[in-house]
Amino acid sequence: MVDIVKEKIVGDVKDGGYFYAISADEVRDVSNKEQLAVCIRFPDKSDSIREEFLTFVDVSSDTSGERLSEEILGVLDSVDLDKHQMRGQCYDGAGNMTGKVKGVGPRIQRQYPRALPFWCTAHQLNRCVVHACDNKLVRNMMGTVHKV
């Protein structure tokens, strides 16, 4: 069933003009495994922007930029998407994702120059809301997180 859904999503990507962006983030699940969620964003044939989940990848053994880059590119290979058609990448601000040399974004962009890396707007919105918050405890906590 999963393969059928992925085939439908990939078919919609190709029908919509074939350009796409990827979005990925890792999270620790309830079984204490580090999971990389990979999503794809693309215009469909009616020019609506869609964002679809593709898969989770277990990256518990290594969350380096190199490993995560390989896994993301492997997901694109597994669903038969041309990586040269990738036009964007979206990640949080973590060093392994956006670090200038060893991060996922720059690593993938060196191989596919048109795949521009961006910081996820959801993460940016979260930071804006926190900065605008009147609650002193929240401001102090986010100040500490930012320093770290």
Domain boundaries, the chain: 2-119
State the average pLDDT over residues 128-132. Answer: 59
**Residue 90 β-bridge partners:** 23, 118
Name the H helices within the chain: 2-15, 65-78, 95-98, 104-111, 121-132, 136-147
Residue identified by tokens 């020019």 is: 47
State the average pLDDT over residues 103-124. Answer: 81
Does the pLDDT at position 136 exceed 90? Answer: no
Q: What angle do CA 38, 40, 45 make, to 5 degrees?
A: 160
Across all residues in the chain, what is the average pLDDT? 84
Q: How does residue 119 score in pLDDT terms, banded at 50, 70 and 90?
A: confident
Q: What is the pLDDT of residue 139?
A: 66
Write the burial class of residue 76 (CB in 10 Å: 0-12 exposed, 13-18 middle, 19+ buried): buried
If you classify domain 2-119 with CATH, what class do you get? alpha beta
> Which of 13, 1, 64 minimizes the C-alpha distance to 34?
64
